[in-house]
Structure 1
Amino acid sequence: MRFALREMRGGLSGFFIFLACIALGVAAIGGVNSVARAISAGVASQGQELLGADIRFELNQRRADAAEHAWLAETGRLAESANMRSMARLADGSDQALVEVKAVDEAYPLYGTLVTEPALSRDALFGLADGAYGAAAPSLLFDRLGLSLGDRLMLGGQEFELRAELVTEPDAVSDGFGFAPRLMVSLEGLDAAGLVQPGSLVEHVYKLRLDGEPGNSELRALREEASTRFPEAGWSIRTRLNAAPSLSSNVERFSQFLTLVGLTALVVGGVGVANAVRAYLDGKRAVIATFKSLGASGGFVFSVYLMQILIIAMMGICAGLVLAALMPFAASAALAAVLPVPSEGGIYPSALGLAALFGVLTTLAFALLPLGRARDVPATALFREMGIDAKGWPRLFYVVLSVAIAATLALLAILYSEERSIAAIFVAAAIAVFLVLRGVGWAVQAAARRAPRVRSTALRLAIGNIHRPGALTPSVVLSLGLGLTLIATLALIDGNLRRQIAGNLPEVAPNFFFVDIQADQVEDFASLVEEQAPDGKLIRVPMLRGRIIALNDVNVRDIEVPPEGGWVLRGDRGITYSNNQPENSTLTQGEWWPAGYEGEPLVSFTADEGAALGLKLGDTLTVNVLGRNVTARIASFRQVEWETLAMNFVMVFSPNTFEGAPHAWLATLTDANATSVDEARLLNAVTRNFPTITTVRVKDALDVVNQLVGQLATAIRAAAAVALIASVLVLSGALAAGNRARVHDAVVLKTLGATRRTLISAFALEYLLIGLATALFALAAGGVAAWYVVTRIMTLPWSFLPEVALSTVAIALVLTVGFGLVGTWRVLGHKAAPVLRNL
């Protein structure tokens, strides 16, 4: 330690890239996880306000019966609300818009504050006056329909007056994501509108504020009591401990992805660590030779420089941790406009500790090999300036130790992730790309070594520089290739997904979905659609909502399922019954029931989701529909083309299963030749003639999805840019590390008559060839990875995007040639005499 500290008196020259790489990776990992924990802490601390209750009960398509309502009312202070989608239209019928209706009672909100502009009492805001109930809506609805405060619109069969702008809805996040603007009314107003009919898609929500401050155990006990007392209620129960499960889950998934991206940046930075260590040791040749000549052992030399590397690494780690610790405070303000959840600034030791551990392991994994090689280089070789980077591997011990540390790093990344299979794929892909890139570097050098002799002096020098001892080729290909591969993969996935949403989906998807068609409206509705769209194809099916509560008589809460199948068990699912096999589906197992079947209830399940849940033919599932548990046996599995957005269901039951159950109908209209004017005319006609039917224009929904995908892609690319920044740092470090050899070469060549123009051309061609090889590999590897994700995971059509290819090649060439020439220009400015005197 004494020798190590003495040696460091000369400063940190040559280690700034090292420090930047470590600090960047540690800051990315620690910062992302700290922000995620801050958001989770905000959700936990604001659970009551976000949920709007201590405990929340949700029923679909029915209200609580007398016994259920009495029990809820005696348990705590009760607030009731109802959520549904419907069409709001102008009083003169000239325009309409889809809205997310939320009807509340006089107890709303139990927690938090409803903020409107202007601020009004409940009666003034929602009460009946001059034949119209009051309503509040965000500015988006005012803008969409060209309305002002005091204007009126129709909802169902009732007129509503917009009396205030909705500014803050305290429990909005607990209701989940909506595709349309909110319209808040009273329960009395919703009843007057006549929208709630038997089978209507409406969520009835019952929120309780309990006396005192009930703890977690009391909330869990109350939940169990509700399930035991009313086993067939079929309600979804959520407590303040899990106020926003979708938000928490998405934040967790996104933070895991960003952690893996940060780890990729750290691994890329590890290449910079190895380069910096090699360059530093190369500059210490005389010192190391003197140590060994004076009797120092190889182990002593190894220990001295390992201590120095770790001390410098800790400086970089500390700098990264400082940045990471500040991120939650910065994110608290930045995310306020994006997330409806307060993130709590603070220091999160576990997140910072994990980042520091990753930083230390990365440093050791990449520094041990050059340190081990320096341990065994003879002093005579060092004095002859043969350098540290001699051919061959260090002792087996150092190789095994380096591999073991790298494996530990990968294992920690996998164990830390909630979805370990995805993390394992990511880590395996990173390792594969790392190894292949190393092979690509060797292949480029081998190709240059075997290239035929060319007449151009500059090109001949460039080819020689690519394969000479100590060439930059392996470092440049490895560092830049990892970042470019990640960027190319994400760009191709994003491009294919957005092309599908904006181009392919509208061509195969229906023009409209029609929801909440009552049984006595079906025929008249079909006649109207046929009149307005004579060339269109209308498909009608009965629809109910049901929740799977048991598989083979085992409660779903006691079943461990993978994420790809878990969505089927979360919340209610749309279900239907049919005598015939639905379109856009193919039987993969089993048989369809015959027409007029009257035996035990049967169900056809989608094949992929059934496989994810471990289901097989003959298994049973129990669904709760309208407060009644129905058990059916699986008779077949179907392959469904979800990507067409056609009408498909996870579960299709035999007709006798729900005989007599009240339900509404769902319909789709597909008309490939319809223009925007035709669609607007049809939408207006349906809304005027059937005000209780909800019409969803698919193109409008896809526009919302496309906007969300664009925002998400921007965030992901910004995160992936961290890896590219690390690549640039490593690239500049590799060029700086090779400057000593470049100065030597340039001076000798200039002495032999080479002009500055010839040398610049040679160096530019060298960087151009290396950058082009790296870009081609990044395109190939990124294309394969993106193809797998798009076709195998997203099950969407795939196409290679030329614009992504061109941008990847351009980035590679600009970075390699640009940084290379900036560094080389300084090299060419050296005077020959001082260098020649030291040869």
Structure 2
Amino acid sequence: MRKPGIGIVTLFATLVFAATILVLTVSLTQSVRDGLRQSAQQTIGGDISLRLFHRATTIDEIAFLETLGTLSLTIEQRVMVQPSDNQQVVLSELKAVDAAYPLFGHLKLSPDIPLSEALGTRDGTPGIVVGPELVEDVGYRVGDTLYLGGQPYQIRARIAAEPERKFRLFSLGPRVIVGLDAYRNSPLLAPGKQVYWYLRIKLPPNNARSPDQIIAAIEDRFPDSGWRIVSAADGVPGLERIGDFASAFVSLMGIAIFAIATSAIRNALTADLATRRPRFATLRSLGARPQEVATSIIWQMGLITAFAILIAVVLTVIAGEVLGPLFAEMLGFDVRPTFENGTLIAGFVFGFVALVSINPIRDASDASPAFLFRHQDHRETQDTIKRRSTKLIITKALIAACLLGIAGALIDLGWFSLVLLAVLVGCQILFVGLGRIIRAMAGRLSTGHRLSLTLRLALRNIARPSAPTVTITASFGLAMTCLTAVMLFGSLAGQHLKSVLPSQTPDVVFFDIPPKEQDAFQAEIQRTDGVQSVTQMPFLHGRVTHLNGVPLTQAQVPRRYHWFLRGDRGMSWTDRPTAYMTESTLTDGHWWPPESVNEGLASLDASVAQAIGAAVGDSLTVNIMGKPHNVRIANLRQIDWTRLDLDFPIVLSPMSSAFDHGVISAVQLNDTMDARTSMDPILETHRDIPVIFVNDVLAKLTGLFDGVVAGLLTITPLATLGAVLVIICGLIALRQRQTETIAMLRALGIRPSQITRTGALETGLMVAISGLVGLMAGSGIAIIAAQAIGTIDLAQVATIAGPMIATAFGAIVVLGFGGGWILQAASLRAQAGWRG
């Protein structure tokens, strides 16, 4: 360490890079997870949140909940905001709040006035506060008058920050907030309207019962209430899962980048030990035992690793200071690197370095004193490769098992962590196998006399057992797989969202249509220019509670289907399937005849049925408006949820006396028609009926998706950088081993330009082959993943993937052949007697 060579310098730089990425990804994601859990009270609005759909809470329910702590009641509904003049109506997400709101956090207004003052009544007109979109995009100002359901409200302030909306990933319109008392008598609260009633509880400080115990008491007291209950102690449903998966993926990428970079560490260590082999042979000739030589190298590696971890921690703290305010502004809570997993991270780094260093250290410590006289290590035949003892193999297996356990703990996603690690290890094994195949094929081809001397020499170098063929192939192939998968998936899925999906969805959706007006409303739409088809269905919510009389719990179904049991689900009923429903494949059972009125039949999504263990003929209990209703499963449908069309996971047979409900109308327009222009007459006539323009929704979905892809693209290039470090370190090791060989070739008359071409060929072939296989593997993963969000046309894949893969392969070829040329030329210039 007094005079480190290029091998040690490269090793240290690579280790700092890899350790910093690992520490940064794991520590920041853990901080985000902790922040999400700690801010759950603000996000759900209380310690416990209860939600009802369609029906209001009863006096008994409110009286009981008030005994548990401070209670806040709010109403949420999607409504059309109407200006006082002829301006366009705007779909908004309304919230009516009581005096206790908010229980946690603070609603920030601009101007900064108390909420009670902003929502109070002045001169007979109640107040309203609006989201910034209505001010910045629509042009409303403080003091303007708006109408909700025919009732006037005066804008008193703009919403600067809303506690419950902090982590809202998606919304259909800007927020507007009014007082609960002023809104109670609104016609928008008529029976059948799509209204959410939220009851949020703030537990007292001296509360002796846990949230789970309180929830159990609520369910025992009102077993048929039908509400969805959420505890802040369990995190935010949906958001918690998204945060866990996002954190797990980022942590996995950090582990993958470190694993890729450790190949570079091994190559750099091999290069350094190769240059110091004469020193080790001298020590052995003076009586030093192999264990003493190995111990000195181990101490060196331990000190270098510890110092690299220390620098990585410092760099992570600096990065946290830079990125922390950005995350805090975006997420709403302080994000700083947390080192509670510091011991695990340090153990993972030391363990991985030990795993890749065992063989090089053993080879170096066994250097024979005869090396001073005969260069035995360059007789690269199978006879000179030392056999690994059983003890060494067991040691490496134990270290690898410990590393997998630590990696699973760092990802922290239960059994799914093992699945992610299995995929990562499987890909690594695939490319290690590819590297061995390349090495074997190069050895066979190098004996062909028809090939040029330069190419044969390059193939022979690739085939050498000491060449970094396997490490370069494994690391670069894995990096190209990750990068290609993310980029191609983003392109295919983005193309589906922007081009394919709009043609598979309705253009306009009206909802909350009063049932008594649905026929007249449908006839009016059909008379509108440009309307191609109209699909109209009743709509309400219900919660599935029992299967064949046995209660259903989330513990009984896979996690990805918890959404079906966690709360109320949208459902409808019909006498015959719609045109879209007929496109869904019936996997079992048959549709009921049109005259099946009040027979209590149901059509269920086949995937959901499989998850909950239901079959045709089974009985489902559905809680609708606080009352249980039993239905029998008549058929199972394989619904394509990648298409945003009018369908429901549960569709019931017709009924003569229907529940209080609203009606949804999905309108398909001709391709040449503009949706807003076509629907203007309807919006003027029916200003209170909420409407969704699907193109606007798709634009928001596309924006969210583009943001996710952009985030992934900021991580995956780091894997490519790690692979480049592997290539550089491997080539440095190879060049230092070939010093005497190159001198011999020069003595035999080989020109420097030929030797440089040899370096370019061997590097280019390794990088090009592994890169091409990585491109193919990544393309396959991207296509499979893109199929999950919609049917992908092969012609579309060729159009998008063809130019992308061709461009990427061209860049890989330039990187491989050009980089090999440059490194070989630099190696020649660094040797005495080669300058000029």
Amino acid at match of 1:187: L
Give the direction of change, closer, same or farther, for the CA distance of 1:515–1:125 in structure 2 (3 Å limit).
same
CA distance in 2: counterparts of 1:224 and 1:794, whole angstroms:
41
Instruction: Report how far residue 796 of structure 1 moved.
Output: 5.7
Query: 1:343 is matched with which residue?
Result: 334
The answer to whether the Cα contact below 8 Å between 1:21 and 1:266 also exists between their aligned partners in 2 is: no
Q: Are 2:634 and 1:644 aligned?
A: no
Instruction: Report how far residue 542 of structure 1 moved.
Output: 1.1
CA distance in 1: counterparts of 2:168 and 2:65, whole angstroms:
20
Instruction: Report how far residue 362 of structure 1 moved.
Output: 1.5
Give the direction of change, closer, same or farther, for the CA distance of 1:793–1:539 in structure 2 (3 Å limit).
closer
Structure 2: unaligned runs, 5 residues or longer: none
Amino acid at match of 2:344: L
TM-score, normalising length: structure 2:
0.90
Instruction: Report how far residue 456 of structure 1 moved.
Output: 6.2
Residues 679-694 of structure 1: matches in 2 within 5 Å? 679-694=675-690
Measured against aligned partners, the alpha-carbon deviations of 1:188-246 in whole angstroms (never above 9, x if no partner) come to: 4545653223222221112233443536x343332222111111111122333245333
The answer to whether the Cα contact below 8 Å between 2:82 and 2:148 also exists between their aligned partners in 1 is: yes
Amino acid at match of 2:735: N
Range 476-485 or range 803-812, more displaced = 803-812
1:537 counterpart SS class: strand
TM-score, normalising length: structure 1:
0.90
Query: 1:234 is matched with which residue?
Result: 226
Q: Are 2:27 and 1:27 aligned?
A: no
Amino acid at match of 2:266: A
The answer to whether the Cα contact below 8 Å between 2:525 and 2:531 also exists between their aligned partners in 1 is: no
Task: Note the aligned Cα RMSD (angstroms).
Answer: 3.1
Range 740-749 or range 193-202, more displaced = 740-749
CA distance in 2: counterparts of 1:338 and 1:529, whole angstroms:
42
The answer to whether the Cα contact below 8 Å between 1:548 and 1:622 also exists between their aligned partners in 2 is: yes
Give the direction of change, closer, same or farther, for the CA distance of 1:617–1:324 in structure 2 (3 Å limit).
farther
Measured against aligned partners, the alpha-carbon deviations of 1:309-359 in whole angstroms (never above 9, x if no partner) come to: 33333333333344445655544312123213x13536432x222222221
Which of 59, 66, 69 lines up with 1:66 in the alignment?
Answer: 59
Amino acid at match of 1:250: I
Give the direction of change, closer, same or farther, for the CA distance of 1:752–1:12 in structure 2 (3 Å limit).
closer
Measured against aligned partners, the alpha-carbon deviations of 1:102-160 in whole angstroms (never above 9, x if no partner) come to: 12123322332221111234454224456754322232222322333333444332343
CA distance in 1: counterparts of 2:544 and 2:14, whole angstroms:
50
2:779 counterpart SS class: helix
Which of 423, 426, 442 lines up with 1:432 in the alignment?
Answer: 426
CA distance in 2: counterparts of 1:206 and 1:174, whole angstroms:
19
Residues 393-792 of structure 1: matches in 2 within 5 Å? 393-414=387-408, 417=411, 419=413, 422-449=416-443, 450=445, 453=449, 462-467=458-463, 470-533=466-529, 535-557=531-553, 559-581=555-577, 582-597=581-596, 601-656=600-655, 659-676=657-674, 679-741=675-737, 743-744=739-740, 747-791=743-787
Instruction: Report how far residue 368 of structure 1 moved.
Output: 2.0
Instruction: Report how far residue 651 of structure 1 moved.
Output: 1.2
Range 787-796 or range 242-251, more displaced = 787-796
Instruction: Report how far residue 63 of structure 1 moved.
Output: 1.1
The answer to whether the Cα contact below 8 Å between 2:121 and 2:127 also exists between their aligned partners in 1 is: yes
Query: 1:187 is matched with which residue?
Result: 180
Give the direction of change, closer, same or farther, for the CA distance of 1:775–1:48 in structure 2 (3 Å limit).
closer
Give the direction of change, closer, same or farther, for the CA distance of 1:160–1:386 in structure 2 (3 Å limit).
farther
Give the direction of change, closer, same or farther, for the CA distance of 1:538–1:794 in structure 2 (3 Å limit).
closer
CA distance in 2: counterparts of 1:646 and 1:696, whole angstroms:
13
Query: 1:257 is matched with which residue?
Result: 249
Q: Are 2:189 and 1:196 aligned?
A: yes
Query: 2:90 is matched with which residue?
Result: 97
CA distance in 2: counterparts of 1:703 and 1:734, whole angstroms:
47
Instruction: Report how far residue 603 of structure 1 moved.
Output: 2.3
The answer to whether the Cα contact below 8 Å between 1:512 and 1:669 also exists between their aligned partners in 2 is: yes
The answer to whether the Cα contact below 8 Å between 1:462 and 1:766 also exists between their aligned partners in 2 is: yes
The answer to whether the Cα contact below 8 Å between 1:127 and 1:133 also exists between their aligned partners in 2 is: yes
Measured against aligned partners, the alpha-carbon deviations of 1:54-73 in whole angstroms (never above 9, x if no partner) come to: 33221111110121122234
Instruction: Report how far residue 761 of structure 1 moved.
Output: 4.1
Instruction: Report how far residue 574 of structure 1 moved.
Output: 0.6
Give the direction of change, closer, same or farther, for the CA distance of 1:517–1:390 in structure 2 (3 Å limit).
farther
Query: 2:303 is matched with which residue?
Result: 311
The answer to whether the Cα contact below 8 Å between 1:529 and 1:682 also exists between their aligned partners in 2 is: no
Q: Are 2:368 and 1:369 aligned?
A: no
CA distance in 1: counterparts of 2:408 and 2:792, whole angstroms:
27
Query: 1:137 is matched with which residue?
Result: 130
Query: 1:5 is matched with which residue?
Result: none
CA distance in 2: counterparts of 1:212 and 1:578, whole angstroms:
51
Identity of paired residues, percent? 26
Amino acid at match of 1:339: L
Paired residues, number: 822
Amino acid at match of 1:409: L
The answer to whether the Cα contact below 8 Å between 1:57 and 1:237 also exists between their aligned partners in 2 is: yes
Instruction: Report how far residue 794 of structure 1 moved.
Output: 6.9
Structure 1: unaligned runs, 5 residues or longer: 1-7
CA distance in 2: counterparts of 1:320 and 1:615, whole angstroms:
52
Give the direction of change, closer, same or farther, for the CA distance of 1:781–1:229 in structure 2 (3 Å limit).
same
Range 497-506 or range 196-205, more displaced = 196-205
The answer to whether the Cα contact below 8 Å between 1:30 and 1:354 also exists between their aligned partners in 2 is: no
Q: Are 2:320 and 1:360 aligned?
A: no
CA distance in 1: counterparts of 2:681 and 2:376, whole angstroms:
86
Residues 115-154 of structure 1: matches in 2 within 5 Å? 115-122=108-115, 124-129=117-122, 132-154=125-147
Q: Are 2:377 and 1:387 aligned?
A: yes
CA distance in 1: counterparts of 2:650 and 2:108, whole angstroms:
41
Give the direction of change, closer, same or farther, for the CA distance of 1:279–1:764 in structure 2 (3 Å limit).
closer
Instruction: Report how far residue 536 of structure 1 moved.
Output: 1.5
Give the direction of change, closer, same or farther, for the CA distance of 1:374–1:794 in structure 2 (3 Å limit).
farther
Query: 1:225 is matched with which residue?
Result: 217
CA distance in 2: counterparts of 1:790 and 1:406, whole angstroms:
33
The answer to whether the Cα contact below 8 Å between 2:192 and 2:540 also exists between their aligned partners in 1 is: yes
Instruction: Report how far residue 588 of structure 1 moved.
Output: 0.2
Query: 2:268 is matched with which residue?
Result: 276
Instruction: Report how far residue 682 of structure 1 moved.
Output: 3.3
Amino acid at match of 1:501: L
CA distance in 2: counterparts of 1:405 and 1:807, whole angstroms:
40
Measured against aligned partners, the alpha-carbon deviations of 1:602-635 in whole angstroms (never above 9, x if no partner) come to: 3222112222333333443332221112233333
Measured against aligned partners, the alpha-carbon deviations of 1:677-716 in whole angstroms (never above 9, x if no partner) come to: xx11233333322223221111111110111111111111
Amino acid at match of 1:826: A
Instruction: Report how far residue 649 of structure 1 moved.
Output: 1.2
1:111 counterpart SS class: coil
